[in-house]
Chain A
Amino acid sequence: MKIELRNIEFAYDKNPVLRNITGVIDPGEFVALVGPNGSGKSTLIKCINGILRIQKGEVLLDGKNLKSYGTNRLSQKMAYVPQTEQKAVPMNVFDAVLIGRKPYIRWKPTKQDLEITAGILEKLNLAPVAMKDVTKLSGGQQQRVFIARALAQQPEVLLLDEPTANLDLKHQVDVLKLLGSLTRQGITVIMAMHDINLAAMYSKKVMMMKEGRLFASGGNEIFTADNVEKLYDVNVETIHKNGTVYIVPDRTQSI
């Protein structure tokens, strides 16, 4: 699904959060939204799938305005994995993932719904814990459950808000590899990220946001010391190794 953002503006009450955002995201792209706290990353994600209503501009999905999709149809095309700050609800893992079938379920889940759910659990290595309570799982496994739940929607676009927050390094890498494999199956992945190194390593496209504006966007080549310094107001050094860029704060200089 091709996503076009045209001059998007959004404000909470009177405070502008997104200003004139324009961009195109092609099907199967792996996009990282980076930028300081409060730069509008989460808000942009919520605007893309209509959780928040933009006040100006338009979001086009395959050339059609977001508003012309019914909420149920939209939820069959696009899934959202919220930031995991909220506590998981006590529920069996299978049931939790089955909730993702909601857009397709009228009264009770069909055999097909159950099969799709079981297939996803297996693909995400969640089969061994499928009958356990979600709240009893580790943070990494919980995040997998939430991604599985989103995949049960069979979306073309997956939106994630800080998918690696609160995870240890192994699970961060696990999640990013999983997302990468999804993009290879044609699913567009758009994630808000704080860790610019991991973003540079795994994503194929970067959108840098600052104060509600799109500061820069492009491939990983836009991770230059100059850009990152302007973005975060921190002096950094870049190290290039094996074709990947590493960004580290520069301790020797004080601001």
Chain B
Amino acid sequence: MNTSDLLQDYTRYTRRRILFILLVLLGIVFVGMYAMVVGAAGISPGDIIRVFTGRGDPVSEQIILNIRLPRVLAALLAGLALSASGAVMQSLLRNPLASPFTLGISGAAAFGASFAIVFFGSAGIAFMPWLNEQYIVMFSAFAWSMVSTGFILAIARYRGATPEVMILAGIAIGSLFGAGVSALQYVATDVELAAIVFWMFGDLGRAAWNDVLILSVILFPLLIYFSLKAWSYKALQSGDEFARSLGVNAFRVRLTGMLAASLATAVVVSFYGIIAFVGLVVPHIVRRFIGGDDSFLIPASALFGAVFLLLSDTVARTLFSPVILPVGILTSFIGAPLFLFLLLKGMGRGYWS
């Protein structure tokens, strides 16, 4: 075997990974179209074309532009954010169990939402989404997520930004906020309690154009940032000291990476509640197809996560039609068995073997 054979092999391997990414993109297009068409209100592909060319009837226009399209985009963006964060966290913490919620964001966001529901009298938001109160809950969830993240990063600054410190601090903070949620649920009225429970089911039914726009404005710079840092993340995976010998400041890269991933997650969770397992499972699925190289893993996970969550949400919408399930329940239901399946099949190519 000589150098040019070797280069050819590697080029072929790289093309295979790019092909995977292109296939996922194609999948997004198809699932996206399917998601626009299916649902309780009968919409045909023809209606969609008519609406986009400005010849649609007002009812289909309303359904397509203000209900289906934002929901589809929200599912794509949320899946993207959670999966990219998951891939980044697994790499930064060198741990296959890391997920976007490793720094305790789910607990902190749930606490923030419950806090707003109980103390700002937002009872009944799940039933009557008055804009203002909804935004108070979102803001509180986001703020508390960032408080928890900030607290853990502060501990890491003080105690050393090692994966162990961050994971353990995340577990501790997460369960502390879990206790806070329980306490708030205990003092909440029946209506508030219902609102808290409803908030905690991740649900894309809350999607609207506003949050889709905010999400894209925040997510795209973060994704570009992750892609730029992929080489530093790869160096970090082989150990902090090795990374330093490659000119990578392990401490700074890990802290800023965790902050960025947490920010992406916190925005999604504040808008749509807790959507479990996507950020944990998707990078593992993708790793099975294209291997563990972050330059490909992070973008591929982001796109695969997008189509994964859109498909899940579409199934959740149509499975027991006209009853619509919150997608968070569905992802937990399929995520756990999927995770076990990957574990039995030798997950992540050597991660746990």
Residues of A within 8 A of B (CB): 46, 49-51, 70-75, 78-80, 82, 86, 88-92, 94-96, 99-100, 102-103, 105, 107-108, 114-115, 118-119, 121-122, 127-128, 130-131, 133, 135-136, 153, 159
Contact = CB atoms under 8 A, between A and B. Distances in A.
Contact of A118 (B6, B232, B248, B348): B6
A92 B245 contact: no
23 contacts: A46-B241, A70-B247, A71-B244, A72-B247, A80-B242, A82-B238, A89-B292, A90-B287, A90-B349, A91-B293, A92-B13, A99-B234, A99-B235, A102-B231, A102-B234, A108-B295, A114-B10, A115-B3, A118-B7, A122-B3, A127-B1, A128-B1, A159-B245
Interface in B286-308: 287, 291-293, 295
Given A51-B241, A122-B2, A130-B10, A103 B348 contact: no
A90 B10 contact: no
Given A89-B238, A133-B349, A133-B350, A153 B246 contact: yes
Contact of A103 (B7, B246, B287): B246
A183 B295 CA distance: 33
A79 B287 CA distance: 29
Given A96-B238, A103-B247, A131-B13, 6 more contacts: A82-B239, A89-B237, A92-B291, A115-B3, A118-B7, A135-B350
Given A127-B1, A128-B1, A99 B10 contact: no
B228 interface: yes
A94 B351 contact: no
A83 to B, nearest CB: 9
A191 to B, nearest CB: 14
Most buried by B among A127, A128, A153: A127
Contacts of B295: 108
A161 to B, nearest CB: 9
Contacts of A119: 3
Nearest to B241: A51
Given A89-B237, A90-B292, A91-B293, A71 B249 contact: yes
A64 to B, nearest CB: 17
A119 B250 CA distance: 29
Ranked nearest first, the 4 interchain pairs of A and B with the lowest CB-CB distance are: A135-B350, A80-B245, A75-B247, A71-B247
Nearest to B9: A131
Contacts of A135: 349-350, 353
